[in-house]
Amino acid sequence: MMAGRETVVASPILETRTESPARAAPWIAVARFARRKPLGALGGLIVLALVATALLAPLISPYDPRQIIREANNRVPVYVAPGSAYPMGTDHVGRDIVSRIIYGARISLYVGLGAVLIGVTGWFVVGMVSAYAGRLVDLIVQRIVDAMMAVPGLIIVLAIMAVLGSSLNNVIIAIVIGMLAPVVRTVRSQVLSVKEMEYVVAARAIGAGSARIIVRHIMPNCLAIYLILATYYLGFAIILEASLSFLGVGVPPDVPSWGGMLTAAAQGHVTKAPWAGIFPGLAIFIVVLGFNLLGDALRDVLEPRLRGAGPAARLTR
């Protein structure tokens, strides 16, 4: 993979001719990645497990996640400890926790994918234009970014939720806006360095237009960054959605969100029913760790220059 990239850097003309080994046989590339970065592979497995859980939710969950269970004697099982009937116990109103966690994977993945597809993609373009256009456009965009950087991401997102009202799609919109400053900033600095590369200067020298330079030369060299950012920000979006739902301003309370499941636990119930406070948090923790590990490994393999502290580290809270 690296060999392919270096040829690109050395000579843009060869770009189309050299086929990178990754493209030739994807499974070999995956196997090589797993051997080089076992932790990254673990992250990838966690992500795959999340996707599988979300897709198969109706097949694998033992109960309806929204329904309050009524047992044979018409008793509602409030805070029943984990056991054979309820693998992770029941919650404060008598719903099965494992089913809610399984369906919660859908909410997390939906919000994560939605926010990343809209946010990372959209702000990526803005960052690229800002860096490429320079001058006034860059100045204005950078002032906005600076000003937004002054407010913690969570507070921006909370404020937007206050204005929009709580719903699943509003959570995505709020998170997308919360991503603006960090994504634009990262992409801009990347594009600024690519812009000065010799092959871009050479392309301009032979008379290539801006559109051609952006599409043919700058964008392919920012692809790795896009992939890395998308991975990190999936984890970031999942943790933000959980935070919002935990605070009661995210998705409506009957929607099985991992964050929302922890609200009751935080109100002092955790000593009464520790399982209700432990399992949903564990789900968030494992999934976010998975995305971070995968993101770190992708960064080390694709863009070693970014080593140090990843953008997710600066953001997730």
Partner 1 sequence: MGKYAIRRTLLFIPTLLVATILVFTLFWIVPGDPALTILAGGEGDSGAVLPEQLQQLRQTLGLDRPIYVQYASWLTNVLRGDLGTSLWYKTPVWNHLKDRFLVTMELAVMAIVLAIGAAVPLGVISAVKQDTGLDYLSRMFSSVGIALPTFWLGILIVYAFATFFEWLPPLGYATLWDDPLLNLQQLILPALTLAFNDLAFTARVTRSSMLEVMREDYLRTARAKGLVEMRVIGRHALKNALLPVLTVSGYQFARLLGGVIIVESIFVVPGMGTLLIDSIIHRDFIVLQAIVLLIAAVVLILNLMVDLSYGVLDPRVRYQ
Residues that bind partner 1 in the complex, under the rule CB under 8 A: 143-144, 146-156, 158-166, 235, 239, 242-243, 246-249, 259, 262, 265-266, 270-271, 274, 277-278, 281-282, 284-285, 288-289, 292-293, 307-309, 312-317
Query: Smaller CB distance to partner 1: residue 57 or 158?
Result: 158
Query: Smaller CB distance to partner 1: residue 203 or 293?
Result: 293
Angle, alpha carbons 176-182-185 (nearest 5°): 125
Query: Smaller CB distance to partner 1: residue 203 or 244?
Result: 244
List all residues 6 or more positions away from 40 whose beta carbon is below 8 Å from its beta carbon: 33, 34, 293, 294, 296, 297, 298, 300, 301
Kindly state the smallest distance separating residue 99's Cβ from partner 1, in Å.
Answer: 20
Q: Rounded CA gap, 304 and 285, in Å?
A: 26
Query: Smaller CB distance to partner 1: residue 219 or 289?
Result: 289
Sort 168 into a burial class: Cβ within 10 Å, 0-12 / 13-18 / 19+.
middle
Kindly state the smallest distance separating residue 277's Cβ from partner 1, in Å.
Answer: 5
Amino acid sitting at position 194: V
Query: Smaller CB distance to partner 1: residue 186 or 292?
Result: 292
Query: Smaller CB distance to partner 1: residue 136 or 150?
Result: 150
Kindly state the smallest distance separating residue 306's Cβ from partner 1, in Å.
Answer: 12
Q: How many residues does the chain have?
A: 317
Query: Smaller CB distance to partner 1: residue 53 or 170?
Result: 170
Kindly state the smallest distance separating residue 116's Cβ from partner 1, in Å.
Answer: 17
Query: In angstroms, how far is CA 30 from the centroid of its own chain?
Result: 21
Kindly state the smallest distance separating residue 133's Cβ from partner 1, in Å.
Answer: 19
Query: In angstroms, how far is CA 21 from the centroid of its own chain?
Result: 27
Kindly state the smallest distance separating residue 89's Cβ from partner 1, in Å.
Answer: 14
Kindly state the smallest distance separating residue 3's Cβ from partner 1, in Å.
Answer: 27
